[in-house]
């Protein structure tokens, strides 16, 4: 049977600030966009027809990016003109849907490893819907299911603490029937129309479930990139391109070290795996690239720089200092002596300001999130969980804490 897979890449990704100038699935991790990895995964369900739903701030820009992806051939593109939640995004693809079909979020790049279990469970149960679920320690952030065996009895979106029906969340993988599509079309349009319709069908006994590994990456907040990055690096194999220049005194330690063509690792640098050093990237003398780090294409980490468990975007230049548990976007310029504090003095989990509200990350080690084209002067420090909006300028000697909007001029 030829399955259809609807990939949802709509919405404004507002919680993903400062990396939401385009849809979050178009963020590059280890040389590929997240969406590219997801399409590659979906194409392994052969034969398959892929329908991509876009609906973000700049459709034309995102369409151009998608069409430039090597894997995009044969993918149907749909524009959700006004993002109104996942349910509306699915309905945008209705005219192309012919039979039972998958719906996946655009960051489900290990979809091919679980698709067969969904097909088997769906055919066995005869349900109109089969949903993917996984355990979570933070039910208040997700759609949570009430279960009886493998049957879903109800769906509650972001329940209040203490009222959650279980600790099992929806993971963004669904196998739906045409009957369910009709029910979805009849439901009130809202940001949560999909969850509303799932709950209604669950109360009729028509929603089955498949438990999937809890390491399936979610992608709501910028710090989720760290876990997603780790997932990608965990599957990394050691490989060093012949054109890479690695000076004789460089120390390579551990497995999963990937160094792409044209990269240059200078004298006395220490490289720990797993890590990814992209095309034409530079690691300066006496610098340390610790495990869990990604340097994208043309990124430069100059002398005496210690980078730990971080993602450094394409074309970004860091002079010296310490970057820990952080994500720094594309084409940033970071002056000498830059220091990211990545742990609170009281060692409690770090919270981050998102859309004006404090959101718990659940992590004890969180550094800085700096958007594209940020310029940072010398001797700047950031407190744990700091966010710097794209194209901001930070004057020398500043200590930053909290969240700064895009194009901020931080001099006071």
Angle, alpha carbons 176-181-185 (nearest 5°) = 150
Which is higher by pLDDT, 287 or 86? 287
How high is the pLDDT of residue 59? 84
3-211 is classed CATH 3.40.50.720: no
| pLDDT tens-digit series, residues 210-253 | 999 866 678 999 999 999 999 999 988 899 999 999 999 999 99
| pLDDT tens-digit series, residues 84-95 | 889 999 999 999
Q: Is 151:208 a contact under the CB 8 Å cutoff? A: yes
Q: Is 318:334 a contact under the CB 8 Å cutoff? A: yes
| pLDDT tens-digit series, residues 312-354 | 999 999 999 999 999 999 999 999 999 999 999 999 999 999 9
How high is the pLDDT of residue 277? 98
How high is the pLDDT of residue 85? 86
Q: What is the mean pLDDT of the chain?
A: 94
The arithmetic mean of pLDDT across residues 187-206, rounded, is: 92
> Mean pLDDT lowest for which of 190-204, 253-267, 333-347, 366-380?
190-204
The arithmetic mean of pLDDT across residues 391-396, rounded, is: 98
How high is the pLDDT of residue 56? 65
Which is higher by pLDDT, 135 or 280? 280
Which is higher by pLDDT, 22 or 33? 33
| pLDDT tens-digit series, residues 57-80 | 678 889 999 999 999 999 999 998
Which is higher by pLDDT, 89 or 12? 89
Decide if pLDDT at 113 tops 80: yes
The arithmetic mean of pLDDT across residues 24-45, rounded, is: 96
What are the domain boundaries of the chain? 3-211, 224-410
Q: How many CA atoms lie within 13 A of 118 on its CB side?
A: 28
Decide if pLDDT at 254 tops 90: yes
The arithmetic mean of pLDDT across residues 286-300, rounded, is: 98
How high is the pLDDT of residue 214? 60
Dihedral (C-alpha) 370, 375, 381, 384: value to the nearest 10 degrees? -10
Q: Is 209:145 a contact under the CB 8 Å cutoff? A: yes
Q: 126 falls in which pLDDT band (50, 70, 90)?
A: confident
The architecture of the domain spanning 224-410 is 3 Solenoid (2.160)
Q: Using CA atoms, how far apart are residues 343 and 303, in angstroms rounded to an integer?
A: 24
Q: Is 381:336 a contact under the CB 8 Å cutoff? A: no
């Amino acid at each position: 049977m030829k399955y259809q897979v609807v990939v949802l890449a709509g919405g404004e990704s507002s919680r993903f600030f400062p990396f939401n100038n385009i849809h979050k699935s178009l963020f590059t991790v280890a040389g590929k966009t997240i969406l590219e990895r997801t399409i590659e995964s979906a194409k392994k369900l052969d034969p398959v027809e892929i329908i991509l739903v876009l609906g973000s701030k700049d459709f034309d820009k995102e369409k151009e990016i998608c069409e430039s992806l090597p894997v995009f051939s044969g993918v149907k593109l749909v524009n959700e003109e006004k993002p109104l939640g996942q349910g509306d995004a699915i309905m945008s693809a209705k005219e192309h849907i012919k039979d039972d079909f998958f719906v996946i979020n655009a960051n489900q790049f290990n979809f091919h490893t679980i698709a067969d279990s969904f097909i088997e469970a769906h055919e066995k149960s005869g349900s109109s819907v089969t949903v993917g679920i996984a355990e979570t320690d933070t039910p208040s952030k997700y759609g949570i299911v009430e279960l009886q065996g493998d049957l879903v009895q109800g769906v509650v979106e972001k329940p209040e603490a203490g009222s959650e029906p279980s600790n099992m969340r929806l993971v963004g993988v669904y196998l739906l029937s045409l009957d369910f599509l009709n029910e979805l079309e009849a439901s009130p349009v809202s940001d949560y129309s999909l969850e509303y319709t799932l709950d209604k069908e669950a109360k009729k006994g028509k929603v089955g479930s498949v438990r999937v590994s809890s390491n399936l990456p979610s992608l709501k907040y910028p710090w989720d990139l760290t876990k997603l990055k780790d997932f990608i690096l965990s599957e990394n194999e050691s490989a060093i391109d012949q054109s890479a220049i690695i000076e004789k005194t460089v120390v390579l330690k551990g497995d999963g070290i990937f160094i792409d063509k044209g990269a240059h690792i200078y004298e006395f640098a220490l490289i720990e795996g797993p890590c990814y050093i992209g095309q034409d990237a530079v690691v300066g003398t006496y610098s340390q690239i610790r495990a869990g780090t990604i340097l994208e294409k043309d990124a430069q980490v100059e002398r005496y720089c210690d980078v730990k468990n971080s993602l450094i975007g394409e074309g970004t230049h860091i002079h010296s200092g310490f970057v820990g548990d952080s994500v720094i976007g594309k084409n940033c310029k970071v002056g000498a002596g830059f220091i990211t504090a990545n742990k609170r003095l009281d060692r409690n989990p770090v919270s981050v300001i998102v859309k004006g509200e404090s959101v718990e990350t659940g992590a004890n080690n969180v550094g800085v999130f700096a958007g594209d084209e940020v310029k940072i002067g010398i001797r700047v420090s950031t407190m744990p969980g700091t966010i710097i909006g794209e194209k901001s300028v930070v004057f020398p000697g500043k200590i930053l804490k909290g969240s700064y909007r895009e194009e901020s001029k931080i001099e006071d």
